[in-house]
Structure 1
Amino acid sequence: MGGPKKNSSSPAAQYFAEVLRMLRTKAGLSQNELGERMNYTGAAVSAVETCAKPATDEFIEAAEKALDAGGLVAAAAKYLRLERYPAHFQGFVQLEQEALSVSSYCVQLIHGLLQAESYARALYDHAVPPLEPEEIEQHIAARMDRKALFDRKPVAMISVVVEEAGLRRLIGGECVMRRQYEHLVECAARPNVALQVMPMSRAGHACLAGPLTVIETPEEVTLVYLEGQGNSHLVSKPDEVGVLARRYAMIRTQALNPEESVSLIKQLAGEL
């Protein structure tokens, strides 16, 4: 039951499997015995240890508790969870989750941190090429995991400017969008969230060149993340960062204020 790992498995999956195997062996448990403690079969434990199947969040939590691992299983799973994100996005997620502040301008879609699960799920109906159901579930779980930033201590400050045109795009239909509007209002009520809408009535503004995200790291270094069509670029040169940060500061003055923005979102919900 302890066969070799599959060659196609990722380094993170192999690392998690090795940590799990070492902790189980140290505890003097067979795969069947650990499975019984976790309410899983021995075959399920073997599948994770041989990288035949990925460890789910439920499996990770059960293994941490059953092995009394002192956080070691959860720590190893941190790298495993990163693989749920597209490769070009993994580095940014780490920055985002540790950031002092995240300030984003969105064009076509609602920011991932502010997406309701039903909205996030509906986006994958239009994926090209189509994804397998298991891949979709992994991506959705990963997107929902990012919301931990809202309640993290110390609290992170989150500012989002979204185009009204993006809000009006009925992703998933009226029911999905009604829930999404409700979710945006709930997010906007948080004291660490500033949500603003760039109205379609404004003919031009400072960020017509495209979306961007300004990140302030725990070391108080400012970076800018640019993304589009499955590619991304992290800007770190101070002069370039300065220009982009000033553009974001400008569009905040050009967008509706937070109170006006929430009123517009409620109006859109009422139109459905």
Structure 2
Amino acid sequence: MARAENKVTAGPTAQMVANLARKLRVRKGWTQEQLGTELGFSGAAVSAMETLAQPASDDMLVQLERVLGDGMDIFEDARVPVRLEKFPVQFQDYSLLEQQALALRLYATFILHGLFQTEAYARALIGGGYPPFPEQRVEELVEARMARKVLFDRNPVALIEMVVEESVLRRAIGSEEIMRGQMLHLAQCARRRNVTLQVLPMNCGLSGEHAGDRGGMTLAETPEHDHLAFLEVQGESLIIADSAKVSTYAHCYAKIRAQALDPRESLGLIEELAGEQR
């Protein structure tokens, strides 16, 4: 996911949640501390949500529905749009596409794709980037990235393929402990029936050719069976719907996949790398 604005901004859904939660709290005659006790959060967290200093987390929305929702599903229905609003603007359209996709084919060239990142890896990556984010924004982006993982267990199941450069697995993000945890998580993902994971080795092509030398890509199939491509570079992103262009990217991806290790060999390499991180 691309880096973007260096400030926290509350979207319209987060504002609606804050206003509604405050009104329902006042109607019950509760203080922020009392509502926090009911929710399992601190009074300060409730205050931050109501003042939009920190928009409601996904977990807080679940608890708000339980405590204040009164069976209307208002806070439940707000979970997806609030999550989208936390992403950088240029990522929001793709995020919705990702969550609805029937199938995704991913090619990761510099860092692991966000769907496969552990929380620790994502925090080290987002927190260590430039220009730097405030800690509050880092945590917001980490939470939003982790929420994307619901795709793995969605019904109907999504089919997810990823070809990842070997250099990505060897590039240290954070500590050795973080990388070991990331490799173990990646191995678990590779064993999922709806996931195919392949590693593109350093010496990938015959005579030195490299089908993926133009950078990473995401190919998505929508519920309507349309095929789209998504590209990101330097904080900018682009969704491509032109069928001829998407076909070209698909052929390129097929060549990249052909140059990669097979899934069994790839899992073996990932497990070997996990064992090296002690």
Bin the TM-score by the shorter chain: 0.7 to 0.9
Q: Which amino acid aligns with 2:78?
A: A
Identical-pair percentage: 44
Cα drift, residue 80 of structure 1 = 1.5
Mean Cα displacement is larger for which, 62-71 or 247-256? 62-71
Q: Which residue number in structure 2 is paired with residue 57 of structure 1?
A: 58
Partner of residue 263, structure 2: 258
2:107 paired residue number: 105
**Partner of residue 187, structure 2:** 185
Q: TM-score normalised to the size of structure 2?
A: 0.86
2:3 aligned partner: none
**Which residue of the partner structure matches residue 215 of structure 2?**
210
Give the CA deviation at 1:251.
Answer: 1.4
Aligned residues: 263
Gaps of 5+ in 2: 1-8
Aligned equivalents of 1:204, 1:265: Cα separation in 2: 24
Decide whether the 8 Å contact of 1:99 with 1:216 is kept in 2: yes
Query: What are the residue-to-residue correspondences of 1:28-43 with 2, within 5 Å?
Result: 28-32=27-31, 35=35, 37-38=38-39
What are the superposed Cα offsets for residues 238-258 of structure 1, whole Å, 9 maximum, x if unpaired?
Answer: 111111111112211111110
Residue of structure 2 in register with 1:237 after alignment: 242
Aligned-partner Cα distance in 2 for 1:106–1:170: 15
Any residues of structure 2 matched to 1:1-272 within 5 Å, and which?
9-20=10-21, 24=24, 28-32=27-31, 35=35, 37-38=38-39, 45=46, 48-67=49-68, 68-202=70-204, 203-272=208-277
Secondary structure in 1 aligned to 2:199?
A: strand
- Give the counterpart letter for 2:224 in structure 1: E
Q: Residues 102 and 157 of structure 1 are in contact (CA less than 8 Å); yes or no, is this contact kept in structure 2? A: yes
Shift in Å, 1:195: 0.3
Q: Is the 8 A contact 2:10 2:85 kept in 1?
A: no
Letter of the structure 2 residue corresponding to residue 210 of structure 1? G
Structure 1 residue 41: Cα displacement: 7.3
Aligned to 1:4: none
Question: Structure 1 residues 199 and 43 mapped into 2: Cα distance closer, same or farther (>3 Å)?
Answer: closer
Q: CA–CA distance in 2 between the matches of 1:100 and 1:157?
A: 6
Change (3 A) 1:222 1:72: same
Larger relative contact order (CA 8 Å, sep ≥ 6): 2
After TM superposition, the structure 1 stretch with the greater mean CA deviation from structure 2, 201-210 or 219-228, is 201-210
